A and B are shown apart, each in its own frame.
Chain A
């Protein structure tokens, strides 16, 4: 079984749909889920909601091979003028949500005897892009949390890694202009905008048996 948060939009949706044919149970989590069609309602920034989703999943199976945390939000704001509610929302969903879901879903992977946790960061953590201070801070936290979690879970044969994409054409960056996107991709090693399928390829790489000794890493898709 594989569990994916943010499964109804953007990269999460692409991952959810691409893995469904390959695994017996692929369970999606979404704030808008209706507990039907394999999508379970879950607000990852709310611990009770995460525990409730876990209880639903336990009815299907108490073991999972992977948890992929693709839920996330972004917002372009000047660092000095980011509204309080936006700061709290970004930190709560991106960082606190990653911590809550890791706490609640890691036991599924431990019971499985081995597994993969895949979190999402951004290439902007390394590039330091103007207008993304809070978003970048939340994702830098995700990377740091993942490195420590990787050490705690390594005795259980569980790897924890981050995928850090450059700009991908999804709803997440709908407010970003083409010029702004070019400014970022020009700083990457591969100067192009990646697609959700490029990210799916990295997810499949990290899910493969061959990646069992890659842990605590952040992989910049596009290169930084």
Chain B
């Protein structure tokens, strides 16, 4: 899980080209306070797809809701949780 959180944080910093960006586990990925625009959320998912593939599993983000209450993009922690869950169920 910590591994997943770190992967996501590294990818976000890379996408926004700011290695000093202050990110916490609770940083939201959609709505106010998100460091990512919608284009970079898609780019983040594509990068996570590639990382998952290199680790022998598929990361499926299609059909994901953008609802603030239910989305896996609610926070870095929620996305990491989903990534870890999909890895375990491979």
* A and B part of one assembly: yes
Residues of B within 8 A of A156 (CB): 39, 42
B62–A51 touching, CB < 8 Å = yes
Q: Does A111 contact B (CB under 8 A)?
A: yes
| Whole-angstrom distance between the Cβ of A196 and the nearest chain B Cβ | 32
The binding surface of chain A is classed by DSSP as helix
Closest to B49 in A: A107
Q: How many residues of A sit at the interface, in one of the four size bands? A: 10 to 19
B38–A103 touching, CB < 8 Å = no
Q: Does B63 contact A (CB under 8 A)?
A: yes
Q: Does A181 contact B (CB under 8 A)?
A: no
Residues of A within 8 A of B46 (CB): 107, 110-111
| Whole-angstrom distance between the Cβ of A66 and the nearest chain B Cβ | 18
A103–B39 touching, CB < 8 Å = no
Residues of B within 8 A of A104 (CB): 62
Encode B36-62 as 1/0 by CB contact (under 8 A) with A: 001100110110010000000010101
Encode A164-203 as 1/0 by CB contact (under 8 A) with B: 0000000000000000000000000000000000000000
Residues of B within 8 A of A55 (CB): 58
Closest to A58 in B: B53
Encode B15-50 as 1/0 by CB contact (under 8 A) with A: 000000000000000000000001100110110010
- A–B complex contacts, Cβ < 8 Å, 16 sampled: A51-B60, A51-B62, A55-B58, A103-B62, A103-B63, A107-B42, A107-B45, A107-B46, A107-B49, A110-B42, A110-B43, A111-B46, A152-B38, A155-B39, A156-B39, A156-B42
Interface, chain B (partner A; CB < 8 A): 38-39, 42-43, 45-46, 49, 58, 60, 62-63
Interface, chain A (partner B; CB < 8 A): 47, 51, 55, 103-104, 107, 110-111, 152, 155-156
Instruction: Add 17 more A-B contacts to A47-B63, A104-B62, A156-B39 (CB < 8 A).
Output: A47-B62, A51-B60, A51-B62, A55-B58, A103-B62, A103-B63, A107-B42, A107-B45, A107-B46, A107-B49, A110-B42, A110-B43, A110-B46, A111-B46, A152-B38, A155-B39, A156-B42
10 shortest A-B CB distances, which residue pairs?
Answer: A155-B39, A103-B62, A107-B46, A104-B62, A111-B46, A110-B42, A110-B46, A156-B39, A152-B38, A103-B63
